[in-house]
Structure 1
């Protein structure tokens, strides 16, 4: 949504700074991919990957370092500029473009993996984004996602706790009404011609470490943040 783009775009200048409000997003790569890696037994080397809603490049760089050939699409021009600059500074050849998830500037079937992490709860039409992801995925390709369930627990944790009390996330970054239930997600996948693979998992937050990163654990509880995989 436009408001979300402005909120995160305002963080572009300090996106990669250790004390940035966005730093907690970077710390989630490890627990997320502890789940996702099992679906790529051959590893990431040479995989052509698109990161949808790439922000300032946290996940794109994480995968590029692991050998993937990465592209990123992001609506915020300031975040794309930040991502491009940091990739150059890091010696990584990542192709970043400005664009909306609902209308991505890529040909059909060109990616073997598409990631969309902490994004679907921020867009006006998650179904359209998932449909576009299905379009750009090659046959047999994988869609890796996480989003936030619309429950009383997610309202308490993500909005009241992280935004208003702990102030880890910028206030107003989330709207509870935009959160996506697993049933809604299953409907979007089916409409896009994508088939779920395996069981979805929850990602529970268990406090913060001294360096500011979250303590997390994978669980079968999908009542807050949850992750999943689907195949084209």
Structure 2
């Protein structure tokens, strides 16, 4: 079941960015009659094109119409994650509005739960990492889909340790392997941020930090 979200204040909107892969995902919404979202596969051009795509998506709204910003903080590509978080922080600072950093893996879990009402309430998410490792996390859907509860935070595992973690988990779960099209979950990034916003959370832009999980080079 998809969560029914309340309205933002009149003439206010929220914006979300997803840049942890070579794809750029953007969405703007007032959680009522207006939502516009798009995904572009920009590859190495993401850093040079993101600002123009943001401008194009925002219109006919203006920057001052935004109530808050959400951003996928990672895990994901080092450069892409940094670009998204830096862009969100810059906008948050200039507009003096909250910035919600949301886990890429949490968004995958929420996206799966939203499109499939028969999903297990506990979802494990696995995503390939560098150097033959994996990112893993386990989440539980809150009652009435009012949010998502982190049971095991985003962590880097060797495949063997991750499999052992799942084998010894104390309850039933559904395993989701996040391998492609992650930018499409930008709508889930926005929804999770909005659920936090409804709970009067108001994170300062400076609190938004990327989650890399790994060093970008071997050390």
TM-score computed with the length of structure 2 as normaliser: 0.36
Work out which structure has the larger RCO, using CA pairs closer than 8 Å and 6 or more positions apart in sequence: 2
TM-score computed with the length of structure 1 as normaliser: 0.35
More strand by percentage? 2
